[in-house]
A and B are shown apart, each in its own frame.
Chain A
Amino acid sequence: MSDTSEVVLQALERRRAEPTQLLQILREVQEELDWISPETTHSVAAGLGIPATQVESVVQFYSFLYEQPRGRYRILVSDNITDRMLGSLTLFEHMLKRLKLRRAEASADGAVSVDLTSCTGMCDQGPALLVNNRPVTRLTARRVDEICDLVRGDVPLAEWPADYFRVEDNIRRADALLGSRYEPGSGLRAAIALGRQGMLDEMKRSNLRGRGGAGFATAVKWESCRNAPGAERYIVCNADEGEPGTFKDRVLLTSFAERIFEGMAIAGFTVGAANGLLYLRGEYRYLLEPLEAKLESMRRDRRLGASICGAQGFDFDIEIHLGAGAYICGEESALIESLEGKPGKPRIRPPFPVTAGYLGKPTVVNNVETLVEATVVALQGGRIFAGHGTRHSAGTKILSVSGDCARPGIYEYPFGVRVEQVLKDCGAADVVAVQISGPSGICLTPDEFRRHIAFEDVPTAGAFMIFGKERDLFEVARNFTYFFAHESCGFCTPCRVGTTLMRDALDKIADGRGSRYEINELMRLAELLRRTSHCGLGQTAGNPVRDTWLKFRPAYERRLIRGDFDPAVDLDAALTRAREIAGRDDAGAHIGAEQ
């Protein structure tokens, strides 16, 4: 029996040979075999009794699954704008050169490959990379050289200096959530004392709104799920923190995991769900073992499992699923598709997950931070919770601050804090722009810094990226547009084609060949995407270009040519191959030469 079939068989057995576990099976197999070979694809398909093309559709959808060998060391350099501002691209090029590699191609000896990847959530300690799913932070030229030596010396990751892999929490400002002492189990016991209806009533009183950015009332979601017909319900924790510039869930998952899990159990108790699923982004694979250990210890303490804290009928347990490099899975219905082992393409809505979610069952999908807040509500009661923040935005918000400032990291504030206050606290000077809530969010200029972080003013999932006066906002928008083109799931026409058309128009402008024509096209495409795309990704993909064109026009104008239009196709260059075949290079073989 070959290695491959042995490894596949074991993974199938661990995952009960269920097709819904396809993504998890492939991920586990790849961890052992480094890539998904055609042989692997066929044995997984046979083992699950599904078409091989279904396996291929998953492998080809997720960035971290490889159909080609990518080496024993698979290095992915984080390509968020904040990494770039810290010099990531120079380090990336340097690494390729030192290892004599081309981007994304494995070395001839099959040892190593180096590529770029979307934001890895280490913006406060970048530039960062992932090597075989493990983050290396605070890259410098020296560190990159050392890594190249370790790779060339075939040194196992376990023997690399531990300091490379050190990930700091960087909590700079703590408030009601991060600053409070929490006794394990206290949230659960408080919820049990309140009872299922009592807990829901407190949630209503709290006015807690979803922290993933959309701000939907959490109590309404919970109640809709509870009231939806069906015997089985699910609580899903969305830990697919993919919005570039966001890393607050990383910190919660690292240092507040028990409170997340207790929040999930409280949600389960309130809506009558016995099963919880935590969807962890592939970039946070390194947190899987600590999180599993935490779950195990909670089961031992009867804080998970049957009759939680001794309460009859309060049964709840949690399973962790890993993503594999797909931003779109942060969209709740795409996340559910991914949980079911499929490509993460957003579903048609309605129906919404609260009535037809995971496996078609009523499902609550909440952000990590929202679930931790639920423990605060259980402990304090809804009225006290609602007393913080603003009238329409109760409680506090955790911000992920990165970019041009002295103290990047995690800042928790009551809702309503002004942007300028955050800038002052993190030591940012000469700021020209702040991108709130990532590329899909909004770009603010200094005249807007008195605005408030709140659902009714500037809503945010948490990202707070700062750009100083040296920064080129055109390049920021181009980086974001590349991100969307890379992360579009491809399902709907406007997003699949439109994000690529926008990217190409920006490249033409960057090349110094763009005119007002390209600007008009970009604005037209941004509007089309906003109005016709299937989900939020496409609907917001045009925002960075639209915002920066409105607010940072000189960054574009200095690149534009004066004429009306410069053709994208260079006719003379298009004849290169024909000239080669004809063996000619005289004036008559060139277009435009006679003028």
Chain B
Amino acid sequence: MSGTETAIVVDEIPVPFKPGQTILEAALEAGVYIPHLCAHPEFAPHGSCKLCTVIVNGRNASACTLKAAAGQEIEVDTPDLHAYRRTLVQMLFVEGNHFCPGCEKSGNCQLQALAYDSEMMTPHFVEFYPHRPVDASHPDVLIDFNRCIQCELCVRASRDVDGKSIFALVGRGMASHIVVNSPSGKLGDTNFSVADKAAHVCPVGAILIKRVGYAVPIGERRYDLEAISEEASRCAGEEVR
């Protein structure tokens, strides 16, 4: 099978695509990593975190929402885009309260992994230190809103997979935040279950399963052992084999 009809070019590497695939999907399948947070292979594209911003034939676009099409020449790893990604990660850090050393998700957290990937050394901006109370009302699951990055994966999973619509993003601008659909606003007053898809999609440490913490020591976890970009390339390689 040859080239130009069914392939896009990502950082000068030809990447085949199937009709309907987004640039991100095609690239990941080919083992070409494009940083992303709000995108998830099992859910429809969302396009809010903007980490997957790439340049397609000279124009900026989100790789997770734009469909791959023949003739696209895509830049991912340019110094400018790399710097933008780092700034976007820093923005996510300062708008919430992210203290990696004290977080159970450390080492398994995609935000942290992308901070390393984008060579972020400091939060850079003045921290917002928002006041976001923790919800520990549910017997099996803890929500720490301090770490929420508003990717809406839990919203999508609960609505589209679990059929429960337990989470919603409300508010506007900086006042946007996740709420729980119960009269008290507490997770404990919903029919949320640890078996729900929504309990297992959070890319950061906002939704945590109780009583299983620290089963794997920090330092030996997913992204401790392998950078997020390397992991993505390796997994794609294994699938092909």
Contact = CB atoms under 8 A, between A and B. Distances in A.
Q: Which residue, of B48, B53, B128, B180, has the highest number of chain A Cβ atoms within 10 A?
A: B48
A490 B168 contact: no
Interface string B75-92: 000000000100110011
A348 B44 CA distance: 11
Given A52-B181, A56-B179, A493 B84 contact: no
A51 B167 CA distance: 10
Interface string A492-512: 111011111100100000000
A343 B126 contact: no
B91 A494 contact: yes
Nearest to B172: A61
Interface residues of B, number: 36
Contacts of A491: 48, 176
B217 interface: no
A63 B171 CA distance: 10
Given A52-B181, A534-B48, A501 B173 contact: no
Contacts of B60: 531-532
Given A60-B175, A532-B50, A493 B170 contact: no
Interface string B84-108: 1001100110110000000000000
Interface residues of A, number: 40
B156 to A, nearest CB: 14
A53 B95 contact: no
A587 interface: no
Contacts of B165: 51, 53-54
A51 B183 CA distance: 11
B234 to A, nearest CB: 28
Given A348-B65, A485-B173, A492-B49, A568 B95 contact: no
B16 interface: no
Given A51-B165, A51-B181, A532-B88, A326 B172 contact: yes
Given A53-B181, A497-B94, A498-B91, A490 B45 contact: no
Contacts of A498: 91
A24 interface: no
A3 B201 CA distance: 43
A490 B174 contact: yes
A2 B77 CA distance: 62
Given A490-B173, A492-B50, A532-B84, A348 B168 contact: no
Interface in B162-200: 165, 167-176, 179-181, 183
A489 interface: yes
A493 B173 contact: no
B217 to A, nearest CB: 32
A496 B45 contact: no
A497 B92 contact: yes
A533 interface: yes
Contacts of A487: 173
Nearest to B44: A348
Nearest to B93: A497
A493 B65 contact: no
Contact of A61 (B126, B171, B180): B171
A343 B172 contact: yes
B43 interface: no
A419 B123 CA distance: 45
Contacts of A504: 126
Contact of A348 (B47, B51, B88, B170): B47
A351 to B, nearest CB: 10
Contacts of B168: 51, 53-54, 56-57
Contact of A532 (B53, B95, B169, B181): B53
A488 B49 CA distance: 15
Nearest to A58: B170
Nearest to B95: A497
Contacts of B45: 348
Contacts of B175: 60, 490
Q: Which residue, of B87, B170, B173, B174, has the highest number of chain A Cβ atoms within 10 A?
A: B173
A220 interface: no
Contacts of B62: 348, 534
Contacts of A488: 172-174
A524 interface: yes
Contact of A534 (B47, B84, B92, B94): B47
8 contacts: A51-B165, A488-B174, A492-B48, A500-B173, A500-B174, A501-B91, A504-B126, A568-B126
Closest 8 A/B residue pairs (Cβ): A53-B168, A490-B176, A497-B91, A488-B173, A57-B170, A53-B181, A490-B173, A60-B171
Given A488-B172, A493-B88, 19 more contacts: A51-B165, A51-B168, A56-B179, A63-B172, A326-B172, A485-B173, A489-B172, A492-B49, A492-B50, A493-B48, A493-B50, A496-B95, A500-B128, A500-B174, A528-B88, A531-B53, A532-B53, A533-B50, A534-B62
